[in-house]
Amino acid sequence: MLDLLLEPLSEPFFVRALLAVALGGVTCACLGAYVVLRRMAFVSTALTHSILPGVVGALLLGFSPYLGALAAALLTAGGAAWLAARKGASEDSAIGVMLSVMFAAGVALMQQANSWRDFAGLLFGSVVAVGADDLLVIAATTVGVLFGLRVLHKELELASFDEEYASLLGARPGLMRVVLLALVALGAVSCVSLVGALLTTALFVIPAATGVLLGRTVPQVMAWGVGCALAGGVAGLYLSYYLPAVPSGAGIVLCCALPYLLARLFAPRR
């Protein structure tokens, strides 16, 4: 049994993947707590999907895919905010428009590149291909995001719980929303190599949704979410190592869903 666990660790790519999944899981689970509590799951889906045209465009033009992805995510967030700012427009449909437009642009760009195979990793993740430089980006993002969440903890908590009181005290709930969206965009960009543009939103939503079932304060929700993401991520990697038929991204998401299901079935009613 122990050999089964230790054997993959002799492969450098597996160790890198393990580190990447752990760091990315921590980032997404902590941010996910606010995404779930503020009912922003749809925005996070839009941000993660819109990374596609950014990365493809960056590859076609020959600059860093991370910069392209970040630019595309910020464009989506800004575009949705601009569309929703008009009187009578619903934010929901503004996000829906941006999501589908960006994704369609990504598909069109992929056609330009003439090779769909190269982009399978972008869509569905290729955590085993994570290199040392990717790991550095993921680690830096984790540190940055945790720092931001810690420093603005009381403002984010207050603005998420009681927007009116937050503005009464001058804690600027609008600004807090923008900060949160920017952090989600950063986290999504860094994690896209783990599970792919199509599934990154799962890393934000599933562990945090588990946390909401089990935690009674925001830090507790984050802690349970991190535990769920770590357990699911590691289990998913081992699963795809021993069952090559299961791609790593899909394995991670499926293994994250298991603790959610258990919590849903057995968590004490609050």
Partner 1 sequence: MTPFWQRLARQVGDAAFAFLPTLPYSRPEKKDCSGEAVVARGLSAGARADGPPAFRAADFSIPCGCRTALIGPNGSGKSTLLRVLAGLVPPQAGEVLVAGAPPALGRSRIAYLSQRPQLTEGFPLRLRRLVQMGTYAHHGWFEECRHGEDAVDRALAQLGLTELADRPVHALSGGQLQRALIARAFVQGAEVLLLDEPYAALDAASREIIERFLFDQGHAFTVLMATHDPADLARFDRILELRDGAVRTKHACSGHDHRHA
The answer to whether residue 165 forms part of the interface with partner 1 (CB under 8 A) is yes
Helix (H, G, I), strand (E, B) or coil at 160: helix
Count of CB atoms within 10 A of residue 183's CB? Answer: 23
- Residue 269 is classified by DSSP as P
Residue 22 or 218: which CB sits closer to partner 1? Answer: 218
Q: Does 161 bind partner 1 (CB under 8 A)?
A: yes
Q: Which of 212, 228, 250, 255 binds partner 1 (CB under 8 A)?
A: 212
Stretch that binds partner 1, among 105-113, 115-123, 170-178, 194-202 (CB under 8 A): 170-178
Alpha-carbon Rg for the chain in angstroms: 19
CB of 242 to partner 1, least distance (A): 36
d(CA 119, CA 138) in angstroms, rounded, equals: 20
20 touches partner 1 by CB under 8 A: no
Is residue 31 within the footprint of partner 1 (CB under 8 A)?
A: no
> Least distance from C-beta 201 to partner 1, angstroms?
20
The angle at the Cα of 83, spanning 82 to 87, to the nearest 5 degrees, equals 100
- Sorted by sequence, the CB contacts under 8 Å of residue 270 that are 6+ apart come out as 216
86 binds partner 1 (CB under 8 A): no
| Residue 237: closest CA among 65, 22, 44, 54 | 22
Is the separation of the CB atoms in 47 and 76 below 8 Å?
yes
Torsion of CA 48, 50, 53, 55, to 10 degrees: -30
| Contact status: 155 vs partner 1 (CB under 8 A) | yes
The backbone torsions φ and ψ at residue 246, rounded to the nearest 5 degrees and listed phi first, read: -95, 115
Give least dist CB 226 to partner 1, A: 14
Should residue 152 be labelled a site residue for partner 1 when binding is judged by CB under 8 A?
yes
Select the span of 90-98, 113-121, 153-161, 226-234 touching partner 1 (CB under 8 A): 153-161
Task: Note whether 158 and 165 are within 8 A (CB).
Answer: yes
Min. distance of Cβ 128 from partner 1 in angstroms?
34
Please say which residue, 115 or 217, places its beta carbon nearer to partner 1. Answer: 217
**Total of chain residues touching partner 1, rule CB under 8 A:** 30
Q: Which stretch binds partner 1 (CB under 8 A): 89-97, 132-140, 160-168, 190-198?
A: 160-168
Contacts with partner 1 by CB under 8 A lie at 37-38, 150-155, 157-158, 160-165, 167-172, 212, 215-218, 220-221, 270
